[in-house]
Structure 1
Amino acid sequence: MHQQMIFVNLATNDLDAARTFFTGLGFAADDTFSDDTTAAIPLSDTINVMLHTHRKYAEFTKKRIVDSTSSSEVLLALSAASREDVDALVEKAVAAGGSVTGEPQDHGFMYGRAFDDLDGHTWEVMWMDPTAAQG
């Protein structure tokens, strides 16, 4: 059976800084699919972030590229294995130059926080108690 993958394509103002940011979160760049216009950052076996310079990103769309520091084009959500892992990833993001956005959401069975990367893309990190998720 085919394992479906997702490639999240994002425009960045500074490719080197964006690459450094994501490697600072603990993700390794895939140099096979990276060059001076794109950095491929696998988050898992099925999730990949493709960071593109604005010039490269513009090759994929005729739409205006939004300024993601002042407009929202997407909210990206990642699961975490524990509450502690949520906090750890957000702390890594801040240490790498990102910023916390919003307040922590603590519902007991579900916990989440969010950060903005260097280009203002919002990443939500959430944990849900697996027993609560089963009903």
Structure 2
Amino acid sequence: MATSIFVNIPTSDLDRSKAFYQGLGYRINPMFSDDNAACVVLDENVYFMVLTREFFQTFTAKQVTEPKTHAQALIALTCDSREEVDAVLAKGLDAGGSEPRPATDLGFMYTRDIEDPDGNILEFFFMEPAAVEKGPDAFLSEQGAGAAATGA
């Protein structure tokens, strides 16, 4: 069974959000976009539904948080290399995003965060294939770094 994921995120400026996500290299599916929402296609199974705050509110009775000041979710997306992480961050910064903290290099994983113009946080990361297969501690011990680098 194939599964798709649709991540709904609020925006205070739909046009600005569409420009930001297109600047990252994603496309907008116009068949599922209107004045209230934009369907951002990351790949054939992963989509962001960027919704105006008012429209987003219609899907929940809970208060919609303000992503500039409150974190509701951290959306992590894999990249094929450290260079790809850096390249996508450069695109995001050029498209109006901001980098809330310095890059993190744990030896087995390299990650950088970007906030879209509304403050929604995207984490782009690369993990060494051997660390995925064996686990971070085994990978680091083979590299001579030991478990201390993981914080364990």
Deviations 1:58-83 (A, max 9, x none): 11011111111011111110000000
Confirm whether residue 70 of structure 1 aligns to residue 72 of structure 2: no
Q: Equivalent residues in 2 for 1:116-127 (5 A)?
A: 116-127=115-126
Partner of 1:53: 52
**Which has the greater radius of gyration?**
2
Partner of 1:30: 29
Separation in structure 2 between the aligned mates of residue 71 and residue 3 of structure 1, nearest angstrom: 33
Separation in structure 1 between the aligned mates of residue 82 and residue 21 of structure 2, nearest angstrom: 20
Runs (5+) with no aligned partner, structure 2: 135-152
Separation in structure 1 between the aligned mates of residue 20 and residue 118 of structure 2, nearest angstrom: 10
Q: Equivalent residues in 2 for 1:1-135 (5 A)?
A: 2-135=1-134
Deviations 1:48-67 (A, max 9, x none): 00001111111101111111
Higher strand share: 1
Cα offset, 1:109, TM superposition: 2.0
Q: Percent identity?
A: 37
- The DSSP-based 3-state class of the residue aligned with 1:102 is coil
RCO comparison, higher one (Cα < 8 Å, 6+): 1
> How many equivalent residue pairs?
134
- The DSSP-based 3-state class of the residue aligned with 1:8 is strand
- The DSSP-based 3-state class of the residue aligned with 1:29 is strand
RMSD across aligned C-alpha pairs, in angstroms? 0.8
Runs (5+) with no aligned partner, structure 1: none
- The DSSP-based 3-state class of the residue aligned with 2:103 is strand
* TM-score, structure 2 as length reference: 0.86
